[in-house]
């Protein structure tokens, strides 16, 4: 057991787990640039003051998650003891984000190196710089959670929470499932073309916000999401935070997905802040 201080850079859109209920995969870096994955975290059941944002520094006691062989995966010993201690904002603090994430942490630019690292189980989280972003796309997916999985999840969490404080249940509702999967098409430094799914929570939240502002018009909402993730982000020094999924870490030809997007201003743009 050890208390860690972590800069949160990744929060994936909530998923349903039969074992843990609704969970969010959270990841970030220590001050030395090394990666940590926190799983499971029942994020939306945390007290309001402890619901961390991206680029919050958080502190919590961690232990290795023995059910997950990926080297960076830890589990909070007590999620209720996970606390926000600082926030690394934009403005003048963009430079600090760049220093930690693009200078202290290792930045990859070839996917073959990352695939090899996953196969040898030396990395399952990384900063990645695409040479060229070719497109931002989406494809339709199931609009609702699997009802069988949802029922199993609720039954199991009822058992697990039998002696815990259950006041969260009074207002808690499972987050709506995203009806679309978003992906980037890009090339790496070797010219290898890839398409990787984007799992970050911000993309999902943006879709729902755009759907509301588009009065339920899905086509308009999707165009607005693309405008942000393609048109706007390509004007920045765009980097990806990549991660592997436990299910496919060892077996998929390319087990990596985009768990976070880092649209940092170019170095010369930082002079404006």
> CB count, 10 Å around CB of 69?
12
Give the C-alpha separation, 40 to 18, whole Å. Answer: 12
Strand partners, 238: 263
Domain spanning 2-87: CATH 2.40.50: yes
Does the pTM surpass 0.85? The reply is: yes
Q: Would you kindly state where each structural domain of the chain is located, as residue ranges?
A: 2-87, 107-144+174-272
Residues 6+ apart with CB under 8 A from 263: 232, 233, 236, 237, 238
So what's the pLDDT on residue 171? 44
Give the C-alpha separation, 63 to 51, whole Å. Answer: 20
So what's the pLDDT on residue 170? 43
Strand partners, 56: 87
Q: What is the pLDDT along the chain (273 residues), one digit of tens a residue?
A: 668 999 999 999 988 776 667 778 899 999 999 999 998 776 666 666 668 899 999 999 999 988 899 999 998 888 778 889 999 998 878 999 999 999 999 999 999 999 999 999 999 999 999 999 999 999 999 998 888 877 877 776 555 553 355 543 444 577 899 999 999 999 999 999 999 999 999 999 999 999 999 999 999 999 999 999 999 999 999 999 999 988 888 888 899 999 999 999 998 766 654
Give the C-alpha separation, 60 to 58, whole Å. Answer: 7
Nearest to 112 by CA among 187, 183, 35: 187
Q: Are 7 and 262 in contact (CB under 8 A)?
A: no
So what's the pLDDT on residue 151? 80
SS3 content of the chain, % helix, strand, coil (to 5): 30, 35, 35
**Which tokens belong to 61?**
């006691």
So what's the pLDDT on residue 146? 85
């Amino acid at each position: 057991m050890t208390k860690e201080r972590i800069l949160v850079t990744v929060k994936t859109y909530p998923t349903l787990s039969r074992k843990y209920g609704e969970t969010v995969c959270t990841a970030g870096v220590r001050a030395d640039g090394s990666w940590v994955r926190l799983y499971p975290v029942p994020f939306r059941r945390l007290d309001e003051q402890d619901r961390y944002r991206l680029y919050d520094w958080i502190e919590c006691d961690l232990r290795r998650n023995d059910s997950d062989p990926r080297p960076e995966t830890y589990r909070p010993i007590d999620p209720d003891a996970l606390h926000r201690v600082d926030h690394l904002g934009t403005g003048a603090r963009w430079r600090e984000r760049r220093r930690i994430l693009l200078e202290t942490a290792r930045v990859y630019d070839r996917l073959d190196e990352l695939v090899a690292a996953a196969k040898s189980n030396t990395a399952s989280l990384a900063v990645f710089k695409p040479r060229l972003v070719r497109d931002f796309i989406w494809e339709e997916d199931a609009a609702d959670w699997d009802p069988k999985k949802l029922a199993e999840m609720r039954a199991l969490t009822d058992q697990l929470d039998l002696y815990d404080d259950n006041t969260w249940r009074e207002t808690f509702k499972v987050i709506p499932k995203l009806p679309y999967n978003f992906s980037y098409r890009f090339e790496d430094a070797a010219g290898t073309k890839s398409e990787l799914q984007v799992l970050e929570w911000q993309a999902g939240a943006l879709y729902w916000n755009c759907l509301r502002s588009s009065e339920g018009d899905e086509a308009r909402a999707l165009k607005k999401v693309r405008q942000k993730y393609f048109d706007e982000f390509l004007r920045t020094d765009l980097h990806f935070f990549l991660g592997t999924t436990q299910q496919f870490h060892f077996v998929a030809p390319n087990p990596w997905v985009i768990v976070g997007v880092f649209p940092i201003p170019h170095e010369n743009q930082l002079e404006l802040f």
